[in-house]
Chains A and B, each alone.
Chain A
Amino acid sequence: MDHRPFEDWLLDNKDLTGTEKRELNAHLQSCHSCTALAEVNLALKSARAAAPAEGFTDRFQVRLASRKKALRLRNFWGFLILFMSAFGLLTWIGWPVIATIFQSPVNVLVSWLSSLMSTWAAIQAMVQAGQVAFKVIPGFVPEYIWVAVLFAAGGWIVLWVFSLLKITKVTRGV
C-alpha cells in the first residue's frame, strides 16, 4: 500500500487542511501502519512525566555527603601511600649513606667538616682572584663593549620579568 503523503504528514506533524484531514482519515480506515503511527503520535503528545519518590533531594544530600567522605578518605590513603612509597624509595637509595652514618658517626662528621672547610677555602680563593681580575680586566676592554654588555643584561632582565608575570598571571572567576 502506498503510504505517501500520509506517512510524511504524520511524521512531520503537518497542520492539515479540511480536505487533507478527510483524506488522511479515509486512509487510516484501511492502513494499519499509518494508524499505528497516528496512535503513537497521540500517545506521545499525551505522555505523562514520571516523578521520583518523595525525599529525592534529601537522598541526594546523603549521597553527596557519602561521596565527599569517600573522596576525602581516598585522598588521605592516596597521600599516605605516596608518602610511604617516596619515603621507602629515598631510604632504599640513600641506604649506603645512612648505614655509614649509623656505623661511624664521628668519621662522617669529620669528613663533612673537612669538605666544608675546603669549600670555604675554594670560595675565598675565587673571591681574591675575582678582585684581581676586576682591577686588571677593565683596562683591556673598550668602553663600547661594556655598554653593549649592560644593554644586553638589561634586556634579558626585562624579558625575564615579563615572562614570569605572564606565566604566573591568575585568571579570575571559577
Chain B
Amino acid sequence: MTDEMAWIIQAQNGNDEGFTNLVETYQKPVYNLCYRMLGEAEAAEDAAQETFLKAYQNLARYDRERSFATWLLSIAAHYCIDRLRRKRFSTFSIDEDEEGQTELPDNSAPDPENEAVKKQTRERLQHCLQSLEPVDRAAVIMRYWQDCSEMEIAQALKLTIPAVKSRLHRARRALADSWEGKPARMRPERKPYGSPAF
C-alpha cells in the first residue's frame, strides 16, 4: 500500500493527520490550478483552501479505484469554473508573480536579461490564459501544468475524450490569437457532451 493510500484510509477513518499529509502533498498542484484559473494570488489561496475543505467533507465519497490527484483537481477546477461564472472577474494583475509579490528581474542571476524575458513570457501567457473560457482554461492548465492525460482531464471535467481534444485544440488556437494581440473570438460555450462537429 502506498503512503498516499494509507493517508486516504486514515483520513476516511476520521484521522486528521492523514488528511494533513494529503494537503502537504497536493497543495502546490491545487494552488497552481487555482492561480492559473483565477489569475490572482489571494483568490487562488482562498480557492485552494476551499478545495481542500470540500475534499475533506466529501472524502467518504472518494472512490479508491480512481486517482486521488485527479479527484482533487476535479474539485478545484469545478470550484474555479463556478467562481468565474458567478463573478466574471478575469482581470489579471501583471504586477503580481506566483507568490503574489512583485517579481523584479534578478540582477544577481547569471543572465538577468534572459530572466526578465522569461518573466515577461510567463506574464504574457497568464494574460492570454484569461481570455479562454473557464472549461477550456481548466483543460489547458491540467494538460500543461499538471501533466494530466486526456482521459484524466475528461474524468475531472466530466467531458468525453474527443471533447477534451477538441477543447485543447480550440484553446491553443485562441491562446495563439491572444498571443498575437488579436481580440479573442467569441464562441458560444459548448455543452459538456456536445459533439465537436457542431
Query: Which stretch from B29-37, B68-76, B82-90, B150-158 is at the chain A interface?
Result: B29-37
Contact A51 B32 (CB under 8 A): yes
Decide if A23 is an interface residue (CB 8 Å cutoff). no
Decide if B81 is an interface residue (CB 8 Å cutoff). no
Contact A36 B177 (CB under 8 A): yes
Contact B125 A50 (CB under 8 A): no
- Chain B interface (Cβ < 8 Å from any Cβ of A): 12-13, 16, 20, 23-24, 27-29, 31-32, 35-36, 41, 44-45, 48-49, 52-53, 56, 60, 98-100, 121-122, 124-125, 128, 140, 144-145, 169, 172-173, 175-177, 179-180
Name B45's contact: one of A43, A44, A53, A64 (CB within 8 Å).
Answer: A53
Contact B23 A51 (CB under 8 A): no
Complex-state Cα separation, A174 to B62, whole angstroms:
10
Complex-state Cα separation, A53 to B157, whole angstroms:
27
Q: Given A33-B180, A37-B176, A39-B179, does the pair A50, B44 have CB atoms closer than 8 Å?
A: yes
Name A51's contact: one of B31, B56, B172 (CB within 8 Å).
Answer: B31
Decide if A49 is an interface residue (CB 8 Å cutoff). yes
Query: Which stretch from A55-63, A88-96, A121-129 is at the chain B interface?
Result: A55-63
Q: Separation in Å of the A70 CB from the closest CB of chain B?
A: 11
Contact A52 B31 (CB under 8 A): yes
Q: Tell me the count of chain A residues lying within 8 A, CB to CB, of chain B.
A: 29
Q: Given A53-B99, A64-B53, does the pair A40, B45 have CB atoms closer than 8 Å?
A: no
Decide if A150 is an interface residue (CB 8 Å cutoff). no
In order of increasing CB-CB distance, the 3 nearest A-B pairs are A50-B98, A37-B176, A36-B176
Complex-state Cα separation, A67 to B122, whole angstroms:
36
Instruction: For A39, give the chain B residue with the smallest CB separation.
Output: B179
- Report A-chain residues with C-beta under 8 Å of the C-beta of B99: 50-51, 53
- Report A-chain residues with C-beta under 8 Å of the C-beta of B53: 60, 63-64, 67
Q: Given A43-B124, A44-B125, does the pair A50, B177 have CB atoms closer than 8 Å?
A: no
- Report B-chain residues with C-beta under 8 Å of the C-beta of A36: 176-177, 179-180
Contact A11 B172 (CB under 8 A): yes
Contact A45 B144 (CB under 8 A): yes
Decide if A47 is an interface residue (CB 8 Å cutoff). yes
- Report B-chain residues with C-beta under 8 Å of the C-beta of A53: 41, 45, 99-100
Q: Separation in Å of the A43 CB from the closest CB of chain B?
A: 5
Name A40's contact: one of B32, B122, B176 (CB within 8 Å).
Answer: B176
